[in-house]
Chain A
Amino acid sequence: MGKVQQGAFGLDVGTSRVVLAQQSEGGRYDYRSQLNAFVTLPYSKMTENVLRKENIPHKVEGDQLIVHGNESERFADLLQVESRRPMTKGVLNASEPASSEMMKQLINSLNNGEPGAGRSLYYSVPAALLGEETNVTYHEATLGQILREMGYAPKAINEGLAVVYGEMEETNYSGIGISCGGGLCNVCLAYLSVPVLSFAVPKAGDFIDQSAAQITGELSTRIRITKESNFHINGHYSDKVQQVLGVYYDDMIKSLVDGLNHTLANTRNMPRIAKPVPIVLSGGTVMPAGFRDRFEKILKDSAFPLAISEVRMASDPLTATAKGALVAALAEA
């Protein structure tokens, strides 16, 4: 990162990754990200020395060493242990006792251990799951509390709305922002920056990995590696793993489009939107080649009720949410 302004932050708190956005002195947006995962190792002086020498973020907790963030995956592989996740399905993992502490560690390492110093920070939160009464109040409040304790002035922003703010300046922040991460797909329709509707569907990256793993008998990890390395959504698949991935991607996209249709049909007092609006796709799960085309085809086949000007990928799908959160924070400053 370049020299940063004494200003605001945008934080994308995802199930898989946490991304911090900040504006540098030249007005450029800079990003740092960490895997939202950690592993615990038995404490030994030698291991701690190695971690320190290699600049690997870690923490000593009693008789354990905790490695979090990007390095956790490598250590999990090395030690043949499962990495632990502070979040699941878009919210803090209730069955992970260390979730709050780990979130704090992760965010701290993203900002190089600098205190919040009262600076404004917008953090992303998911929308309520479609058709379910669950809410995200606990998640939002806990994250807010963590960030306040770290010295920030935090405010929550809907994840889909953050995508709109990050990607739709040209349409005056009118359009549909979609963020497909590990735990959830978040959707928000905004009109002139005002959120009109938002919801989340529980089918996202983890759903695809786990479902495909179940069918093929492969490890989820291998499924994910296949998905991220050489998977194309084009209907022509070279092996069973790819074929199954294609099926579950279709399932996820259909859930998204059905959710949009259902929510649009059931939203009262929709504003009159005269112009066609764009749809922007973001998040790690939309990265495979061909995702945009497949999404557009399923959308067109569904007789979507709203005029759409284009379906496009975010300029950088992995940072769009953090960017939008930062834009919101700067706009408030």
Chain B
Amino acid sequence: MTVLAFTRWLATTSLMRWWVEKRASNISGPVDRLRFLQTHQVTLKDLRARPTVPVPYWVVLVSGAAIGVSFLGVVSWRSAKSSPVAAPAQASELAKLERPTPVAKITAPAKIWVVESTGAIDTYSNGLRVEKKFATTNRPRAYYAYKRNQDLEISLTIRNQPAGIVFHTTESHMAEFTPEKNRTLRHYGENLIGFIREKKAYNYVIDRFGRVFRVVEESETAFHAGQSTWADDQWVYLNLNDSFVGVAFETQTVKGDESPQITSGQMVAGRLLTEMLRAKYGIGAFNCPTHAQVSVNPHNMIVGYHTDWAGNFPYEELGLPDNYALPLASVSIFGFAYDPAFMMSTGARMWKGLLAAEDQIREQAKQNGRSVAAQKAALRERYKKLSAPLGDSGKSAEGE
């Protein structure tokens, strides 16, 4: 086991255990607390696994220090109730930190306009260049939104303007990013975009050189989000193919706490494209989640059917707040559950959103005089009722 692998292992297991313990300590009532712990049993069983090779003491120290830094930098939590047994120093230090209120500011981007439009390329005033040679059509956007109130009343107007952006990864083959592999890189990229065009999978793709390709026209639906849900402070959206623009980065998903595999060119292009779309459609910063944040599986009522950008999307570099801190609508509004596999793939940043969602459910349960479990069950029923008439609006590029 390498130092890096060991560090990752330790980070995952220690972080998970700390999170589970801390979270459980804040749950009042023996039944709810036990239920919470039991839903995380698989993860805890993983704690039994130890490195199979001896690890030098200094590695443990260095790893511990690294994790301490990452804890302080990435995770913050509300103060926990005091525990009758002494907490480890690391946890007690962290417990002093306050969790930030997960509300993102709506800041309207500056006005951005098309400077020049040729048959092949659109050039925008912020420097964005969009290649159009793969552009295609599908069907016009048309969707309903639901008012974010007790009953989630449906808005009677059919909407056709995008309300947000969902960020994806293409999960395609990746060649080494070196000049020697230029030909392979181009070959992979073009094949990929051809495939995406055929499947009408995204509205935009950003290849590894940072080139932005329009695939499905913005005014039309791409099959990018499948079964999914998201909400802003006024509206709730179901099955986001119609309501959100799908933007995919040519890259592969890595575990949530690992560095994203994204080139500097993609980073710049992603920022410019996001700016343009937000300016054009007045998209709020908090309506720019990743696919992992919106994806759900209605068959087992668990979130995160897709886990692209599950915990390492470079929000800040794209000029956005850390939307991982926002409560997951699927959990807080529709009572979806999450499993240890999702927790392990997301990493600490996404956990903040899960915590926020759980807090909201507890508050709702209190207001309704129900147990948390009963509240979640009621929310799940609500989802089933609202999603039943939606038909194949949750279709994905894989045809699910």
**Residue ranges of A at the interface with B (Cβ–Cβ < 8 Å):** 165, 169-173, 191-194, 269-272, 274-278, 309, 327-328, 330-333
Contact = CB atoms under 8 A, between A and B. Distances in A.
A192 B17 contact: yes
- Which of A269, A270, A274, A327 has most B Cβ within 10 Å? A274
A67 to B, nearest CB: 37
A269 B34 contact: no
A327 B38 CA distance: 12
Contact of B44 (A165, A169, A194, A327): A194
A333 B372 CA distance: 12
B50 interface: yes
B44 A309 contact: no
Nearest to A274: B88
B85 A275 contact: yes
Given A275-B86, A276-B85, 6 more contacts: A165-B30, A170-B83, A172-B21, A172-B25, A271-B44, A327-B31
- Which of B20, B21, B30 has most A Cβ within 10 Å? B30
Interface string B27-55: 00011111101101100110111100000
A328 B25 CA distance: 18
Contact of B48 (A171, A173, A269, A330): A269
B112 interface: no
B47 A327 contact: no
Interface residues of B: mostly helix, strand, loop or mixed? Answer: helix
B47 A271 contact: yes
A169 B41 contact: no
Q: Which 3 A-B pairs have the closest CB atoms?
A: A193-B37, A331-B34, A331-B35
Nearest to A267: B48
A174 B212 CA distance: 53
B391 interface: no
A330 B32 CA distance: 9
Contact of B88 (A173, A269, A271, A275): A275
A192 B37 contact: yes
A246 B37 CA distance: 40
10 contacts: A169-B30, A171-B84, A172-B21, A173-B33, A173-B37, A193-B34, A194-B37, A194-B45, A331-B35, A331-B38
A37 B44 CA distance: 41
A169 B24 CA distance: 9
Given A173-B34, A193-B34, A271 B48 contact: yes
Nearest to B49: A269
B31 A270 contact: no
Contacts of B65: none
B74 interface: no
A285 B87 CA distance: 33
Given A170-B84, A276-B85, A193 B47 contact: no
Contacts of A330: 31
Nearest to B86: A275
Given A172-B37, A274-B88, A275-B85, A192 B44 contact: yes
A314 to B, nearest CB: 14
A327 B20 CA distance: 19
A296 B32 CA distance: 32
Interface residues of B, number: 28
Contacts of B50: 269
Interface of B: 17, 20-21, 24-25, 30-35, 37-38, 40-41, 44-45, 47-50, 83-88, 373
- Which of A191, A193, A271 has most B Cβ within 10 Å? A193
A328 B33 CA distance: 11
B259 to A, nearest CB: 27
Nearest to B28: A169
A327 B373 CA distance: 14
Contacts of A327: 30-31, 34
B375 to A, nearest CB: 14
A172 B84 CA distance: 11
A192 B24 contact: yes
Nearest to B23: A172
Nearest to B373: A333
Contacts of B49: 269
Nearest to B84: A170
B34 A192 contact: no
Contacts of A333: 373
Nearest to B30: A169
Contacts of A275: 85-88
A170 B29 CA distance: 10
A274 B49 CA distance: 16
- Which of A165, A172, A272, A332 has most B Cβ within 10 Å? A172
Contacts of A191: 44
B86 A165 contact: no
A166 to B, nearest CB: 8
A169 B86 CA distance: 16
B109 to A, nearest CB: 45
Contacts of A171: 83-85
A16 B239 CA distance: 59
A173 B34 CA distance: 8
B47 A272 contact: yes
Nearest to A175: B85
Contacts of A172: 21, 24-25, 33, 37
A271 B24 CA distance: 18
A12 to B, nearest CB: 17
A142 B48 CA distance: 33
A309 B85 CA distance: 7
Contacts of B83: 170-171
Contacts of A193: 34, 37-38, 41, 44
Contacts of A331: 31-32, 34-35, 38
B21 A270 contact: no
Contacts of B30: 165, 169, 327
Nearest to A278: B85
A171 B33 CA distance: 11
Nearest to A329: B31
Nearest to A333: B373
A330 B373 CA distance: 11
A330 B30 CA distance: 10
Nearest to B50: A269
A192 B35 contact: no
Nearest to A171: B85
Contacts of B40: 192
A269 B45 CA distance: 10
A35 to B, nearest CB: 28
Nearest to B35: A331
Nearest to B46: A271
